[in-house]
Amino acid sequence: MGRRRKYEDIIKSEYVSISELVQITSVRYSTVKYYTEEGLLPFEQKEERLTRRYPRELASLRLKHIVALKEKGLSITEIKEHFKV
């Protein structure tokens, strides 16, 4: 298990882990994982078994947008169409 970064360091960094993205957005881990698997959140992964790295700013904004669309009653299929995934 890696060393946890301070919140101040997380919000300054270009890339974050899934747990750090959860921490800065307050969106549940399982929800972030689901949206990632549905292709709605951008990430980088150098090799198959390495940690996914999310571009902090883009992923945070995308998550806020997805949550807002879900609150309006859109389905995942409709949200994918919105983002053209």
Query: 19-62: per-residue pLDDT in tens?
Result: 999 999 999 999 999 999 999 999 998 877 788 999 999 999 99
Query: Which residues partner with 16 through β-bridges?
Result: 54
Closest to 80 in 3D by CA, of 34, 45, 49: 34
Give the pLDDT band of residue 85 (cuts 50, 70, 90).
low
What gap in Å lies between CA 22 and CA 28, rounded to an integer?
A: 6
d(CA 44, CA 30): 19
Instruction: Give 1 or 81, the one with higher predicted confidence.
Output: 81
CATH number of 7-83: 1.10.1660.10
At residue 80, the pLDDT reads: 94
pLDDT at 46: 81
Cβ 35 vs Cβ 52: under 8 Å: no
- Helix orientation angle between 18-25 and 29-37, rounded to the nearest 10 degrees: 120
**Is 50 in a helix, a strand, or coil?**
coil
Domain boundaries, given as residue ranges, for the chain:
7-83
